[in-house]
Amino acid sequence: MRLQLLFFLSLSALVRKGENANDAERRMHPVFSLTESGSNFRGRSKRAMPQIVFDALRAEERYAEYWQGLATQTLEQQLESKSRLNTQLARNVMLFIGDGMSIPTITAGRVYLGGEEKQFAFEQFPYVGLSKTYCANMQVADSACTATAYLGGVKANYGTIGVSAAVQFKDCQAQALPEHRVSSIAAWAQKKGMATGLVTTTSVTHASPAGVYAHLANRNWENDAEVAGDNGDPTLCPDAASQLINSPVGQMLNVIMGGGRENFLPRSDTDASGAPGRRLDGRNLIEVWKNQHTNSAHYVENRRELLSLSNQTSRVLGLFAPYHMDYHLDANAAEQPTLEEMVQVAMDILERQSAGRGYFLFVEGGRIDHGHHDTLALRAIDETAEFDKAVRFARSHTSTDDTLIVVSSDHSHTMSLAGYSSRKNDIFGINDGQLAADDLPYATLSYANGPGYASNILREGGAVKRKNLRAINMKNKDFMFPSTVPLESETHGGDDVAVFASGPYAQLFSGVYEQHFIPHALGYASCISDRNMCIDGGVARSPR
What pairing do the DSSP bridges indicate for beta strands 497-502 and 127-132?
A: antiparallel
Q: Is 492 annotated as a binding residue?
A: yes
Domain presence at residue 75: no
State percent of the chain over pLDDT 90: 86
Q: What is the pLDDT of residue 44?
A: 45
Give me the mean pLDDT over the 310-322 stretch. 97
Residue 1 predicted with pLDDT over 60: no
Q: Is 208 annotated as a binding residue?
A: yes
How far, in Å, CA of 181 to CA of 434, rounded? Answer: 54
Q: Does the model's pTM come out above 0.85? A: yes
- Average confidence score pLDDT of the chain: 92
Which residues, 6+ apart, have CB-to-CB distance to 393 below 8 Å? 340, 343, 344
Q: Are residues 350 and 393 both part of a single domain? A: yes
- Side chain identity at residue 521, one-letter code: A
pLDDT band of residue 57 (cuts 50, 70, 90) is: confident
Q: Are residues 126 and 164 both part of a single domain? A: yes
Residues 508/525, Cβ–Cβ less than 8 Å: yes
How far, in Å, CA of 305 to CA of 300, rounded? Answer: 6
Q: What is the pLDDT of residue 42?
A: 46
Range of the domain at 171: 88-414+493-537
The CB density around residue 440, as the number of other CB atoms within 10 Å, is 15
Q: Is 388 annotated as a binding residue?
A: no
Q: Are residues 170 and 105 both part of a single domain? A: yes
Q: What is the pLDDT of residue 72?
A: 96
Give the total number of structural domains in the chain.
2
Q: Are residues 437 and 403 both part of a single domain? A: no
How far, in Å, CA of 342 to CA of 364, rounded? Answer: 11
Q: Are residues 331 and 390 both part of a single domain? A: yes
Q: Are residues 159 and 212 both part of a single domain? A: yes
pLDDT band of residue 8 (cuts 50, 70, 90) is: very low
Q: pLDDT tens, 453-508?
A: 999 999 988 899 999 999 999 999 999 999 999 999 999 999 999 999 999 999 99
Contacts 24+ apart (CB under 8 A), 435-439: 435/44, 435/45, 435/46, 436/46, 436/466, 437/46, 438/465, 438/466, 439/46
Q: Are residues 443 and 312 both part of a single domain? A: no
Residue 32 predicted with pLDDT over 50: no
Q: What is the pLDDT of residue 540?
A: 83
What pairing do the DSSP bridges indicate for beta strands 445-450 and 483-486?
A: parallel
State percent of the chain over pLDDT 70: 90
Instruction: Tell me the longest C-alpha to C-alpha distance in the chain.
Output: 81
Domain presence at residue 194: yes
Give me the mean pLDDT over the 101-130 stretch. 97
Q: Are residues 516 and 473 both part of a single domain? A: no
- Angle, alpha carbons 60-63-69 (nearest 5°): 80
Catalytic residue numbers read 143
Q: Is 397 annotated as a binding residue?
A: no
Helical residues (DSSP H) of 141-237, grouped into ranges: 143-152, 172-175, 185-191, 207-210, 224-229
Q: Is 324 annotated as a binding residue?
A: no
Q: pLDDT tens, 257-299?
A: 999 999 999 999 999 999 999 999 999 999 999 999 989 999 9
pLDDT band of residue 347 (cuts 50, 70, 90) is: very high
Residue 240 predicted with pLDDT over 70: yes
Q: pLDDT tens, 160-176?
A: 999 999 999 999 999 99
Looking at 447, 464, 486, the residue that finishes a domain is 486
pLDDT band of residue 48 (cuts 50, 70, 90) is: low
Identify each DSSP E strand in 42-177 by its residue range. 92-98, 127-132
Give me the mean pLDDT over the 19-39 stretch. 49
543, containing H or E segment: none
- DSSP secondary structure of 245-272: HHSHHHHH-SEEEEE-GGGGSBTT-B-T
Q: What is the pLDDT of residue 441?
A: 96
Q: What is the pLDDT of residue 54?
A: 76
Q: pLDDT tens, 175-210?
A: 999 999 999 999 999 999 999 999 999 999 999 999
Q: Pick 38 or 216 by higher pLDDT.
A: 216
Domain presence at residue 350: yes
How far, in Å, CA of 515 to CA of 144, rounded? Answer: 13
Q: Are residues 394 and 444 both part of a single domain? A: no
Q: What is the 3-state secondary structure (H, E, C) of 6-25?
A: HHHHHHHHCCCCCCCHHHHH
Q: Is 520 annotated as a binding residue?
A: no
Q: Is 180 annotated as a binding residue?
A: no
Residue 419 backbone class (left: φ over 0; alpha: ψ -120 to 50; beta: rest): left
Give me the mean pLDDT over the 117-146 stretch. 98
Domain presence at residue 164: yes
| CATH code, domain with 225 | 3.40.720.10
> Which residues in 62-78 are b (16+ Cβ under 10 Å) and which e?
eeeeeeeeeeeeeeeee
Residue 332 predicted with pLDDT over 90: yes
Q: Are residues 301 and 288 both part of a single domain? A: yes
Q: Are residues 440 and 532 both part of a single domain? A: no
